[in-house]
Amino acid sequence: MKIAAFNLENLFDRPKAFNEEFKDSASETIEAVKKLNVLFEKASYSDTDKAKMLELAAVLELNRYNAGPLALIRKIRGAIFRRPRNGGIEVVADGRDSWIGWAELKASAVDDVAVLNTGRVIRDVDADILAVVEAENRVVLRQFIEVVFEKVKHEIDTPVRPFNEIMLIDGNDNRGIDVGLMTKEGYKIGMMRSHIHDTLKDLHEEELKGDVLPASLSDDRPVYSRDSPEYAVTTPSGEVVWIIPNHFKSKFGRNYRYSTDKRTAQSIYTRAIYERLRNQGHDKIVILGDLNDTPDSDALLPLLEKSDLKDVSVHDCFDPGEFKGRKNSDEKGIGTYDLGNDSDKIDYILLSPALFDRVTAAGLFRKGAWPGSKPKRWTVYPELTKKEHAASDHHVIWVTID
C-alpha cells in the first residue's frame, strides 16, 4: 500500500497575490481582504467601521468597478461603495442587511505546462491513497483527473491505474484551498467525518495533556483554517486505515504570533482526534499533509513529541532522492518545500506505531519541483524549463506499507 501527500497549490486557478511578481504586496492584500469581510459581516456599520472600510479599499486600490489589481468586491444585491461625481468614495450601506456581497482575491490561471506537470507527478508517484492539499473543490479535482491525468497517462508505455474514488469536503477557507483524498481500485472510502465546525470548546481537559491553549485564540471560532477530515479507507485485504489529511495555518501574513498560536491549537486538536480513534480501538492511522512548520517548532510540539505518532522522514529507509539536504552532511535531506533545504520541511506523513512498524519504503518525489538554476539540485521533467512550469513549490512525500 503506497500513501502520499501532495500540496497541489490549486489545479487550474490560484490567487494572483500568490504569484512571484506580487510577493511584496501579497501579505497586505490578503490581510485587507480578510479584514474587509469581517467588517462586512457586522449587523450595523459605525462611522469607525466605514472609515476603516475606506482605508482597506485604498489598500486594495479599488477602481470605480470595485476591482483592484489583486482583489475585488463581489456584489450580489445592493451596494457597499458609491463614488460621487465630484470624486472620492463613500460607504452607502448601513449594515449587513443593506447589501449582499464580499471581498475576494482575484484568481489567475495556472500555467498550462505546470498543470500537465502536476498530472505527471501524480501519475509517476502512483499512490494507492493520495491526500491532496489546496485543491479547489471536488468537481475541479474530478475534472483534473478525467482530463489532465487521463492525458498524461498516455505519454508513457507503462499502464497507469486510474483513481476510482475522489472525495473532498469543502473547508473553512474561502479561497478554495481544501484538502481531499483520492484512492485507486481496491481502496474504498467509507466513513467520513469533518471537523470544520469544531472549536476549542470541544476539547476535553484530559486531551490537553498539559498543553496550554494560546490565550490569543477565541474558543468559539473554528479550530481549522481548512479542515481535518477523517476518512476510513478499507484496503484490498480488508484492513481499515484511517487517513486524516491536513493543511495547518500558513505563516504567510504579518501577524506571526497569531499564525503560530493557530498552528499550535490545530496541532493539539489533531492529536485529540488521533487519540479518540486510538481509544475506539483503531490502530492504523495516518495524519498527513502540509503542516506549515518545521519539526523543531513549538507549534508542532504537541503533535510530534506528545503523541506516539512517527514521522516517516526519520525511518531508516527514508530516501530523499538526489538532493541530500545540508551541504557536506551525512544526514539525509528532509526538505519538502521550495529548494528542498532541511529548514523547509513542512509536509509530513505521521504514522501510528502499528503502521510505522510495517514501513518498507519512504521518501520524497521532487521531479515536478523547481530545482534551482545552477547547479540543478535534482532531475526534473523535460517540460520544466522555468520556475512557472513547476507542478508545485511542494515535493511529494510518500510511504509504502506492507
Q: Of 108, 124, 151, which closes a domain?
A: 108
- If we measure between CA atoms, which residue out of 264, 267, 271, 273 comes closest to residue 217? 264
Same-domain check for residues 229 and 282: yes
Per-residue model confidence (pLDDT) at position 375: 82
Name the helix (H) or strand (E) containing 113: helix 112-125
Same-domain check for residues 113 and 102: no
Task: Summarize pLDDT for 358-386 with one digit per residue, the tens.
Answer: 999 999 999 999 999 878 999 999 999 99
- If we measure between CA atoms, which residue out of 186, 144, 189 comes closest to residue 167? 189
Same-domain check for residues 326 and 375: yes
Residue 11 C-alpha cell reads as 489545479
Per-residue model confidence (pLDDT) at position 86: 84
Same-domain check for residues 114 and 260: yes
Task: Summarize pLDDT for 269-306 with one digit per residue, the tens.
Answer: 999 999 999 999 999 999 999 999 999 999 999 999 99
Q: Of 71, 90, 108, which closes a domain?
A: 108
Query: Cα–Cα distance between 19 and 26 in angstroms, integer?
Result: 9
Per-residue model confidence (pLDDT) at position 331: 55
With cell 481531499, the residue in question is 180
Same-domain check for residues 101 and 243: no
Q: CB-hemisphere CA count at 13 Å for 318?
A: 23
| DSSP state at residue 11 | S
Same-domain check for residues 25 and 62: yes
Same-domain check for residues 277 and 320: yes
Residue 308 C-alpha cell reads as 506516539
Task: Summarize pLDDT for 320-340 with one digit per residue, the tens.
Answer: 988 876 554 555 678 999 999
**Beta carbons within 8 Å of 265's beta carbon, 6+ residues apart:** 200, 213, 214, 217, 223
Same-domain check for residues 114 and 103: no
Q: Which residues pair with 359 in a beta bridge?
A: 401
Task: Summarize pLDDT for 233-263 with one digit per residue, the tens.
Answer: 999 999 999 999 999 998 865 567 888 999 9
Q: In total, how many domains does the chain have?
A: 2
Per-residue model confidence (pLDDT) at position 24: 73
Query: Cα–Cα distance between 4 and 130 in angstroms, integer?
Result: 5
Q: Is the dihedral of CA 338, 342, 346, 349 positive or negative?
A: positive
Same-domain check for residues 52 and 201: no
Per-residue model confidence (pLDDT) at position 177: 84
What's the average pLDDT block by block, 10 residues per block, for the chain (402 residues)?
Answer: 92 71 78 91 94 94 90 91 89 92 82 90 97 92 92 92 95 85 97 96 91 86 94 97 96 76 96 97 97 95 96 95 66 84 94 98 96 90 92 96 95
Same-domain check for residues 271 and 374: yes
Domain hosting 213: range is 2-13+109-401
Q: Of 83, 108, 133, which closes a domain?
A: 108
Per-residue model confidence (pLDDT) at position 328: 44
Same-domain check for residues 142 and 259: yes
Which residue type sits at 271? R
**Phi, psi (rounded to 5 degrees) for 264:** -60, -45
**Beta carbons within 8 Å of 171's beta carbon, 6+ residues apart:** 178, 179, 196, 224, 225, 226, 227
What is the Cα gyration radius of the chain? 22
Same-domain check for residues 98 and 246: no
